[in-house]
Amino acid sequence: MSRRALAISSMLLFALAACQSMSSVKPGDGRKATITGKTYDQIWDAAHKVAGEHLQIHEQDKTRGVIVGEREMSAWSYGAWVGTYITPPTPGAPIYTVEVVRRKKMTTNVGEQDWEYKMLRDIYRELGLSALDPRRDP
């Protein structure tokens, strides 16, 4: 194999290894916010509306409290996968946690926006809540 072919193969392998898929978006290590005084349906509707404004939604399941979407590639970014998780996914809870998890499509993408903060901020606005509090919602 020539050096050029080896270099091209190495770059291609590196590029593929740096990619992430929608299946890499899982709850657990995203940014979380605690919401009280709102119903599950209100929170779901706000999260769904915000996701629809910013993302192309690929998966939504209200019974599990899951919305997963894609921020497509643009001139400024390679895009991202973003998941929103509402727990517990049942009506009548006194407290809900909304977690937003972002995965860059390419781990080498340094210019991607902070979708975790942006989505939570907009969900708060949609619910008529005051701004995110870093002491309460790290």
Residue range of the domain that includes 31: 20-127
The CA distance from 37 to 110, in Å, is 37
For residue 37, the one-letter residue type is: G
Tokens in use for 95?
Answer: 């407290």
Q: Is 32 among the domain residues? A: yes
Q: Is 7 among the domain residues? A: no
For residue 66, the one-letter residue type is: V
Q: In sequence order, what DSSP letters do the residues of 103-130 get, joined into one string?
A: EESBTT------HHHHHHHHHHHHHTPP
Q: Is 136 among the domain residues? A: no
Residue 110: its pLDDT value, please?
54
Number of domains in the chain: 1
| Average pLDDT of the residues of the chain | 77
pLDDT in tens, 55-96: 899 999 999 999 999 876 655 556 788 899 999 999 999 999
- We report the CATH number of the domain holding residue 96 as 3.30.310.80
Q: Is 28 among the domain residues? A: yes
| pLDDT at residue 137 is higher than 70 | no
**C-beta separation of 38 from 55 below 8 A:** no
- Residue 131 — very low, low, confident or very high, per pLDDT cuts 50/70/90? confident
Whole-structure pTM value: 0.75
